């Protein structure tokens, strides 16, 4: 191969820059690109708010007086019990949007354009998940305001409240990596949306999010108690002070140590699915 040909090949396929600092910079650049795109398409954010607000209103007023919590059918107690589950459902359902966004980038050839740049391979996915985290944060803030309007209250102080929301956002960020892997594994954004929702419904409903798990059949109760979603919901209820008096706490380790279990589950999900997603991205861009 001549010197001119070697130079052309090197120019056509620049080597990615290494280093943690450079990778972080590349990730922030990609995150900025996605945030600008979200601001230019505000309906993405607006439609993302409609579903959780509907869940708050419907569950609060339709089921509020029908579900016993701590031996009481009080609608007020159920609203406080419910909100941690709605918050957790909201941050996890953002997974479908993350997967659809990445699938759309793949479909439009954006991944090929990123591949031609000398940037860290994992930065494309990290930037995308960080942008989704910002959008999820805005959604949770609006949802918290709606919850306060319908009667939800915090009883354990500001610091514990912030810790509860931090756990929620950590769970949402962890699940966004599952969405990234799904988005890289399908051919169209529509398939990514469907694939991102199919497994989320059993995950969120076989949990303690909407009803106490002690009333479930034995095998479902064990699944719910070891569900990472349930651990975060239980942790938030404790941190928000939303566990009613007399509420039975299961003997399962995640329910006895929900804060620690929530952190461990989220970190484990990030470690596994980030590795798989980056590997899938590299193979797709090879």
Domain ranges of the chain: 42-284
> What pLDDT does residue 19 have?
65
> What pLDDT does residue 18 have?
54
d(CA 269, CA 222) in angstroms, rounded, equals: 20
d(CA 82, CA 188) in angstroms, rounded, equals: 35
Extended strands (E) in the chain: none
Task: Count the alpha carbons within 13 Å of 72 in the hemisphere toward its beta carbon.
Answer: 14
> How confident is the chain (286 residues) per 10-residue block, as mean pLDDT?
44 53 81 79 74 79 71 76 90 83 76 70 83 89 88 90 96 93 85 83 90 86 94 95 81 93 96 91 69
> What pLDDT does residue 112 have?
66
Torsion sign, CA atoms 169, 170, 173, 178: negative
Long-range CB pairs of 130-133 (<8 Å, 24+ gap) are 130/27, 130/28, 130/31, 131/30, 131/31, 131/32, 131/34, 131/35, 131/38, 132/34, 132/94, 132/97, 132/98, 132/101, 132/172, 132/173, 132/176, 132/179, 133/169, 133/172, 133/173, 133/176
Q: DSSP assignment of 265-280, as one string?
A: HHHHHHHHHHHHHHHH
């Amino acid at each position: 191969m001549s010197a001119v040909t070697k130079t052309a090949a090197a120019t056509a396929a620049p080597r990615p820059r290494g280093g943690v600092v450079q990778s972080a910079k590349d990730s922030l650049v990609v995150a900025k690109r996605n945030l600008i795109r979200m601001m230019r398409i505000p309906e993405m954010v607006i439609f993302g708010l409609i579903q959780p607000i509907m869940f708050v209103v419907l569950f609060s007023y339709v089921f509020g007086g029908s579900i016993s919590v701590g031996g009481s059918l009080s609608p007020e107690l159920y609203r406080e019990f419910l909100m941690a589950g709605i918050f957790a459902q909201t941050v996890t359902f953002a997974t479908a949007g993350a997967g659809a966004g990445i699938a759309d980038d793949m479909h439009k050839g954006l991944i090929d354009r990123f591949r031609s740049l000398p940037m860290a391979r994992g930065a494309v996915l990290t930037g995308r998940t960080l942008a989704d985290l910002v959008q999820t944060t805005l959604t949770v803030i609006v949802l918290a305001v709606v919850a306060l309007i319908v009667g939800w209250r915090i009883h354990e102080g500001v610091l514990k409240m912030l810790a509860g929301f931090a756990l929620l956002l950590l769970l949402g960020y962890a699940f966004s990596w599952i969405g990234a892997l799904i988005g890289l594994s399908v051919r169209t954004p529509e398939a990514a949306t469907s694939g991102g929702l199919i497994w989320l419904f059993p995950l969120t409903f076989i949990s303690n999010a909407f009803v106490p798990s002690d009333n479930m059949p034995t095998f479902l109760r064990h699944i719910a108690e070891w569900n990472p979603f349930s651990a975060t919901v239980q942790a938030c209820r404790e941190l928000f002070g939303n566990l009613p008096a007399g509420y039975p706490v299961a003997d399962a380790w995640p329910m006895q140590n929900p804060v620690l279990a929530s952190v461990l589950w989220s970190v484990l999900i990030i470690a596994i699915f980030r590795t798989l997603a980056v590997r899938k991205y590299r193979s797709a861009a090879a």
